[in-house]
Structure 1
Amino acid sequence: MPKHNRITNVLKSDAIGSQVLIKGWVRTKRGNKNVAFIAVNDGSTINNIQVVADVAQFDEETLRRITTGACIAVSGTLVASQGKEQAVEIQAEKITILGDADADTFPLQKKAHTLEFLREIAHLRPRTNTFGAIFRIRHALAFAIHKYFNNNGFYYLHTPIITASDAEGAGQMFRVTTLDMENPPRTPEGTIDYSEDFFGRSTNLTVSGQLEGELGAMGLGLIYTFGPTFRAENSNTTRHLAEFWMIEPEMAFYDIYDNMDLAEDFIKYLIRYVLENCADDMKFLDERFLKEEQAKKADERSEMGLIERLQFVLDNQFERITYTEAIDILLSSNHHKKGKFQFPVQWGIDLQSEHERYLVEKHFKKPVIITGYPKEIKAFYMKQNPDGKTVAAMDVLFPGIGEIIGGSQREENLEKLTQRMKEMHVPEDVLWWYLDTRKFGTCEHSGFGLGFERMMLFITGMGNIRDVIPFPRTPKNAEF
């Protein structure tokens, strides 16, 4: 049994008059010469518990050391609160200082801190209301992902983090090596000899678990991966990380329509789970979102509150259109005719976020799934449609964020797949094992990828992806 009570449980307790012991960090201390009011939080809830200390009962040194950031243990009696914020508080009988916090140097004081400043002290961010809420929601969302797939008969497959293949063909990968970079072994031609490396070949950190996920689906039927992925893209936007987490289900015997059905059901389940299980944290973030929006220019503000936006996704069946239909809508829009799109619109382009958001927020006013993209802008493994121009790809678009899920029916035809690989210069000898699944008992199958941090951005209403992961990895930033 724990030697103390979690604050979230104490705040829900109606055992007035009982003895409790809590441990946590001091958020604030106020009072007068007779009584001190100490707000304590242990990370189990966004709500602090108020500790009331009779100054006469405690020595001056102990009270002096109770400063913002200090870690304390408090034992006392649970009493009905006199304030409006909570039902109960603790009448302190004993206070022990577990860890001092120098009041002059502790960087988290009772004032508003910018998110930029908090990124510089990421080791202390979890102690703030905003990041405490975000990281509790991150846990709940991860748990919900596993729960959903387990409930629906999927198996969790651990795909490799170190890989010799580039699933996306992007080439922006982090190299993994044990070679001496000051004096690497060389081939007779003068290039680095990776046969001398740990794995006997050139290896990298993975950008996706999809290809290996397909191998699992070809034997287990329904699998999903959920793990870290890496991309060495020198991008400092609010939407990119060098290290991020991906959820990638792969399903045997699923066509593109089954894939769309699963994606919609999955994402609605996650939103519903967070709203039902993180109500206090979501209420706090909803209020924060409102303040952020009010500070923006009128034409840049969101038309919906945070919780309202999430409910909007739950309440609407996702609109399903083809890429060609999407282009026609954009070309016919007043937005396009008045030159309000920053990027040009024509058949064959990769849709930009502004195009995707227009379709969701202005035209359909609901989430949208687009299918049938031009094959030239999509990966080699996507199933080619009979028209010879498009592939059975799908992107799920959300308000405020644009694309949140990308997926496709996979090409199961060996001849078509190898031909596409030749066209896109994907080496067959490296992916011989992938091609084997098309030789030995191939079948139609589909899958998609959901960026975990992208989903976190949508659910929490945060504006920067660096603020939904505990320790962000971005260009020139690996401090913590």
Structure 2
Amino acid sequence: MERTKINDLLRRTDFGATVCVKGWVRTRRGSKSVNFIALNDGSTIKNVQVVADVEKFDADMLKLITTGACLSVEGVLVESQGAGQAAEIQATTIEVLGECGSDFPMQKKGQTFEYMRQHAHLRLRTNTFGAVFRIRHNMAMAVHNYFHEHGFFYFHTPLITASDCEGAGQMFQVTTKNLYDLKKGPDGKIDYSDDFFGKTTSLTVSGQLEGELGAMALGAIYTFGPTFRAENSNTPRHLAEFWMIEPEVAFIELADLMDLEEDFIKYCVRWALNNCQDDLEFLNKMVDSTLLERLNSVVSTDFVRLTYTEGIRLLEEAVAQGKKFEFPVYWGCDLASEHERYLVEEHFKKPVIMTDYPKEIKAFYMKLNEDGKTVQGTDVLFPQIGEIIGGSIREADYDKLVEGMGRFGIKPKEMDWYLDTRRFGSCPHGGFGLGFERLILFVTGMQNIRDVIPFPRTPNNCEF
């Protein structure tokens, strides 16, 4: 018999119909005469209740119906007598497709997220992580839909690169060389001439620079793919492998860029509210009781536009009035998450787009302002997250771009291909980067970035 997904079944009202569902047992309870089995197949946060008359089924088979077991159930769709759902199944046939022993790690009891991270391959079957990853799927759909509707082209940038986008140097090297027998040159450095690419290569930290090339040809592009950073950081906000969304637009100015950032992120949050209601209500109840209020607030509020200089002034005033920060506040400092969250959560109580940062603390490619001290960078700061988007107008002037490279020790000769965009038909352009997992953190209310990606990659952790 053809299987019906539980998400579709729970919307049906043709009571008396014979149906077939397949899924995994969440719970089983009952008495000597009747068993109630909560079955879930991942298509929805909701379970379907299967009612089994004990006398009609083999006792040994019923003993196999434990939390985590996989079942195929055929029966009659009936109107539910209990609260919470409209329909249930009176079982006529139950087949155990996969047994699940009592040592199944995801038993129905209070387990910490840290415990579940140790069993990341099985945590996906819990209600919480089912909700998170259905929302993650919907956010990916929102990203593609937004840019397609606004005339952007999906542009694939390389994962293996010979350039370091921001000069950070924290990259994973890619090589086919025998690490036990490394050929070295006269200067004592490793000779990569016999490596696969004939030079040092790494996994990318960003597709932005290549994305700029696409924008110079197609007008407006976006990338959406995995990026990698070999940063030895064990914070709840950092991963070694994560996904980035990076649009680049030709002929855009700073005000338009900020409008794009705000419109895009509101579209994504609105998409979640419109398409993930059941999962969001579950997370609002079980994870963060302020989640729905916060999401609705974002889509109904105009973001604050704030210069870095004005932001520093507000932070200094807060310190003067007794506010304690772990990190010092002064003009020229790189704002910490605590500074950003103070401005968003305590001072303005709404998202903030901060602009015009000191050139020393931002990347070499950001457009220099007329004051010679600040650049046209834009960071979108969100409650509970801090920075969720980082963007800028790019420096279109060849000489100023070379000067910027010099500040960060980047050799122009190694970036000839990038500088060519300023030699040949340069134009004003800009874009931003959004860490996809940080968006999922905000939309789900989860507190640790390792809990919004199926298999987190962090220092000393590369399981599965």
Residues 373-400 of structure 1 deviation map (CA, whole Å, 9 limit, x = unaligned):
0000000000000000000001111111
Q: Distance in 2 between matches of 1:100 and 1:336?
A: 64
Residues 31-70 of structure 1, C-alpha deviations (whole Å, 9 max, x = no match)? 1111111110000001110000111111112111111111
For the residue of structure 2 that corresponds to 1:450, the secondary structure is: strand
Quick one: distance in 1 between partners of 2:95 and 2:351? 53
Alignment of 1:14-33 (within 5 A): 14-33=13-32
Counting matched residue pairs gives: 464
2:127 to 126, 129, 134: 129
Matched, 1:365 2:349: yes
Aligned to 1:67: 66
Instruction: Give 1:3 shift.
Output: 2.9
Give runs of aligned pairs for residues 242-391 of structure 1, distance below 5 A. 242-290=240-288, 305-333=290-318, 335-391=319-375
From the superposition, tell whether residues 410 and 24 of structure 1 become closer, same or farther in structure 2 (CA, over 3 Å).
same
- CA–CA separation in structure 1 for the residues paired with 2:286 and 2:372: 49
Query: d(CA) in 2 for partners of 1:426 and 1:249?
Result: 24
Q: CA deviation at 1:269?
A: 0.2
Unaligned runs of 5+ in 1: 292-304
Structure 1 CA distance, aligned partners of 2:30 and 2:316?
A: 64
Letter paired with 2:391: G
Q: Secondary structure at the match of 2:287?
A: helix
Match of 1:296 in 2: none
SS at match of 1:429: helix
Instruction: Verify: 1:455 aligned to 2:439, yes or no.
Output: yes
Q: How far apart are residue 364 of structure 1 and its match?
A: 1.4
Bigger shift: 186-195 or 65-74? 186-195
- Distance, in Å, in 2 between the alignment partners of 1:313 and 1:151 is 21
Q: 1:157 aligns with which of 155, 158, 161?
A: 155
Give the SS at the match of 2:412.
coil
- Aligned match for 1:227, one of 217, 222, 225: 225
Q: 1:107-131 CA distances to partner (integer Å, 9 max, x unpaired)?
A: 1111111101100000101100100
SS at match of 2:413: coil
Letter in 1 for 2:74: S
The amino acid across from 1:233 in the alignment is E
| 1:324 maps to amino acid | T
Output the amino acid matched with 1:361.
Answer: E
- Which residue of the partner structure matches residue 298 of structure 1? none
Q: What is the rounded CA distance, in whole Å, between the counterparts of 2:183 and 2:2 in structure 1?
A: 57
Distance 1:423 1:68 in 2: 59
Q: Distance in 2 between matches of 1:87 and 1:160?
A: 50
SS in 2 for 1:124: helix
Aligned residue among 109, 112, 117 for 2:110: 112
What are the within-5 Å matches in structure 2 for residues 190-229 of structure 1?
A: 190-229=188-227
**CA drift at 1:336:** 4.2
* Contact 2:288 2:445 survives alignment (8 Å): no
What is the Cα deviation at residue 347 of structure 1? 0.6
Counterpart residue identity of residue 299, structure 2: L
State the SS of the aligned residue for 2:76: strand
Q: What residue number does 2:408 align with? A: 424
Paired position in structure 2 for 1:302: none
Q: Which residues of 2 match residues 384-423 of structure 1 at below 5 A?
A: 384-423=368-407
Q: Which residue of structure 1 lines up, in the alignment, with residue 450 of structure 2?
A: 466
| 1:288 partner amino acid | M
Amino acid paired to 2:419: L
Matched-pair identity in %: 63
Q: Deviations over 1:207-241 (max 9, x none)?
A: 00000000000000000000000000000011110
Q: Is the 8 A contact 2:240 2:458 kept in 1?
A: yes
Counterpart Cα distance in 2 of 1:336 and 1:113: 43
CA distance in 2, matches of 1:75, 1:424: 66
After TM superposition, give the deviation of residue 195 of structure 1 in Å.
1.0
Please name the residue that 1:88 is paired with: 87
Counterpart of 1:52, as a letter, is: V
CA contact (8 A) 2:27 2:39 kept: yes
Superposition deviation, residue 344 in structure 1? 1.1
Cα distance in 2 between the residues matched to 1:20 and 1:260: 51
Q: CA deviation at 1:290?
A: 4.0
Verify the 8 A CA contact 2:353 2:379 in the aligned structure 1.
yes
Deviation at 1:339, TM superposition (A): 4.7
Q: In structure 2, the residue corresponding to 1:195 is in which secondary structure? A: coil
- Partner residue of 1:294? none
Give the aligned residue type for 1:206: T
Taking the aligned partners of 1:16 and 1:341, their CA distance within structure 2 comes to: 61
Choose the corresponding residue for 2:164, options 163, 166, 189. 166
Unmatched 5+ stretches in structure 2? none
- Between the aligned partners of 1:359 and 1:347, the Cα distance in structure 2 is 16
SS at match of 2:252: coil
CA distance in 2, matches of 1:180, 1:162: 19
Q: Which segment drifts farther, 62-71 or 132-141?
A: 62-71
- TM-superposed CA distance for 1:289, in Å, is 3.0
User: Alpha-carbon deviations, 1:250-286, whole Å to 9, x = none?
Assistant: 0000111111000000000000000110000000001
Q: For the residues of structure 1 that align with 2:269 and 2:407, how far apart are their CA atoms?
A: 40
C-alpha separation in 2, matches of 1:242 and 1:106? 29
What displacement does 1:423 show? 2.3
Residue 34 (structure 1) aligned with residue 33 (structure 2): yes
The aligned counterpart of 1:6 is 5
Mapped partners of 2:108, 2:304: distance in 1: 46
Letter in 2 for 1:141: M
Summarize deviations over 1:116-175 as a string: whole Å, max 9, x none: 110000010110010000000000000100000000000000100000000011000000
Q: Secondary structure at the match of 2:124?
A: helix
- Measure the CA separation in 1 of the matches of 2:8 and 2:350: 39
Give the Å deviation of 1:190: 2.7
- In the alignment, residue 403 of structure 1 is paired with which amino acid? E
Cα deviation 1:66-104 (Å, max 9, x = unaligned): 11111010001000011101100000000111111112x
**Cα distance in 1, alignment partners of residues 415 and 304 from structure 2:** 36
1:283-328 C-alpha deviation (Å, 9 max, x unpaired): 000112346xxxxxxxxxxxxx111011111111011011111111
- 1:290/1:407 CA distance change after superposition, 3 Å: closer
Partner AA of 1:451 in structure 2: G
Whether the 8 Å contact between 2:358 and 2:375 is mirrored in structure 1 is yes
